């Protein structure tokens, strides 16, 4: 049978951390490491609260692994570290609004430049028209330069 328990153990969780493979690495208060494989993710919650846990070990290809676990005494000792990809976002609503506005402005500028280039190619606007001059600036130096040049060009 796949999960025949061959031995049981109890230990107190000091800390937990997910490794790059998604396994939960648990350190007990004696400093001993324990690995709970990502295949048994359903057990992670038992360890993440700290406290004392009872584990059952099974064997696969002559190697022991934690196959079952239960909380015996839930006394939080250490809050688990979050992996980098699970950290909460620290951006505020205003930051997201600003980011969204910048993205939308960029999309609109690209659309305008595409339309200007199509009109220019079709011969509807001339080489010396302000829009074409701005397009040339945008193509050669980027959007930031267009804002600087725009004031000069529109003074005429």
Render each residue's pLDDT in the chain as its tens digit; 156 residues.
456 899 999 999 999 999 999 999 999 989 999 999 999 999 998 887 678 999 999 998 999 999 999 988 765 444 445 554 544 467 788 888 888 888 888 888 888 889 999 999 999 999 988 888 888 888 888 766 666 666 666 665
Q: Provide the phi-psi class of 109: left if phi over 0, else alpha when psi is between -120 and 50, else beta.
A: alpha
Whole-model pTM? 0.46
Is residue 57 within 8 Å of 35, Cβ to Cβ?
A: no
Within the chain, strands assigned E span 7-18, 24-28, 33-36, 51-60, 63-73
Tokens 């050669």 found at: 140
Q: How many residues does the chain have?
A: 156
């Amino acid at each position: 049978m796949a999960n025949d328990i061959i031995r049981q153990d109890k230990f107190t969780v000091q800390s937990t951390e997910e490794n790059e493979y998604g396994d939960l690495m648990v350190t007990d208060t004696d400093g001993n490491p324990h690995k709970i494989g990502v295949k048994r993710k359903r057990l992670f919650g038992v360890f993440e609260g700290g406290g004392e846990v009872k584990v059952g070990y099974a064997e696969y290809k002559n190697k022991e692994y934690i196959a079952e676990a239960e909380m015996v005494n839930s006394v939080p000792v250490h809050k688990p570290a979050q992996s980098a990809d699970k950290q909460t976002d620290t951006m505020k609503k205003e930051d997201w609004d600003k980011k969204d506005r910048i993205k939308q402005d960029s999309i609109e500028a690209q659309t305008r430049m595409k339309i200007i280039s199509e009109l220019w190619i079709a011969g509807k606007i001339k080489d010396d028209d302000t829009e074409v001059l701005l397009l040339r600036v945008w193509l050669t130096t980027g959007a930031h330069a267009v804002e600087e040049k725009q004031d000069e060009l529109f003074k005429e």
